[in-house]
Structure 1
Amino acid sequence: MLSRDAFWQYACTVYQNGQVQQILLECQDKHGKNVNLCLLLDYLSYLNMQLTVQQVNELEVIVKQIDRELLVPYRATRKQAKTRYSAYPDYQQLRASLLATELELEKLQQHHLIEHVKTFSLQDHVKDPKNLLHYLPKSLYTRFQHAKL
């Protein structure tokens, strides 16, 4: 059974790898890809579950909506605070609070992704599934896989 807590732990572990983090942020900033969706697709491959292109497209709609409504505006607020208000005497506390809230929004997005995946008929016990290839160009997929090693 898929669990949002297990997915969160997996995502945190994978994201701690500096090379993976760099590639995922490049995917986000230069290619408009969603980090949580990349991590979910990788997680499902880790669990030997294969998604279809249509299922990945459905998940992409979900992340785009949450990004548009919550994460993108919030990140802009956080960056604005850093740019314009870093001289505020309690800025470090403010920054920590803003980052903690952003993490909670990331968890919210992951929750919605997992809940939607639970509605899918999944092909499991697949040998070497490559869900990320339904979302990332092959060159980014290859770099991501090498970084995880």
Structure 2
Amino acid sequence: MACLTQLPLSLWQDCDLLYAQHQAEYLKLQDEHGVNVNLALLATWLDNHDYLMPTQGWQHLITQIASFELNLLQPFRRLRKLSKGHLAPDEYQQMLTVELMLERKVQRLILRSPSLLQLSSHTDNLMRYLSLFEVEISAYSMLISNR
């Protein structure tokens, strides 16, 4: 097994394409199960590139971004959702832009993670990550079979 010590910056561009293809499913995972979309996208990217991250690596990433998520991103997301019917469309779009900026900050935190990735021919990162949230995997098979 080979080790990968740094993720390529281009992975988020790939993840943007994955998100565009399955936005509704990723948002459902976020809204109904508390899954971090960036980590779910990362798991899919790792699967597509034959990298395996052990469960403790996923737990470390969750812990690493938890403070930023709980204290800044999630409260802002709730405020944006509550504001939707009370703002002009351009004001609401500005809030979406700020939320995207916060999501990009989470992506940078993930990229700086010391978690070690191991190259493997057998990958199940998305299933491994979603199992931490007790998600019924079969309901999201379109994300897993999209490799």
TM-score w.r.t. structure 1 length? Answer: 0.81
Aligned residue-pair number: 137
Following TM superposition, by how much is the alpha carbon of 1:62 offset from its aligned partner in structure 2, in angstroms?
2.6
How far apart, in 1, do the equivalents of 2:64 and 2:142 lie?
Answer: 25
More helix by share: 1
Q: Distance in 2 between matches of 1:121 and 1:32?
A: 24
Q: Is residue 123 of structure 1 aligned with residue 128 of structure 2?
A: no
- Partner secondary structure for residue 101 of structure 1: helix
1:9 aligned partner, one-letter code: Q
- Structure 1 portions without partners, runs of 5+: none
5 Å matches for 1:1-149?
Answer: 1-4=6-9, 6-17=10-21, 20-83=22-85, 85-86=86-87, 91-116=88-113, 119-124=114-119, 126-136=120-130, 137=135, 138-146=137-145, 148=146
Percent identity between matched residues is: 29
- In structure 2, the gaps of 5 or more residues are 1-5
Q: What is the CA–CA distance in structure 1 between the aligned matches of 2:61 and 2:80, rounded to whole Å? A: 26
Offset at residue 82 of structure 1 (A): 1.3
CA distance in 2, matches of 1:65, 1:143: 31
TM-score (norm 2): 0.82
The letter of the residue matching 2:126 is L
- How far did residue 140 of structure 1 move? 4.2
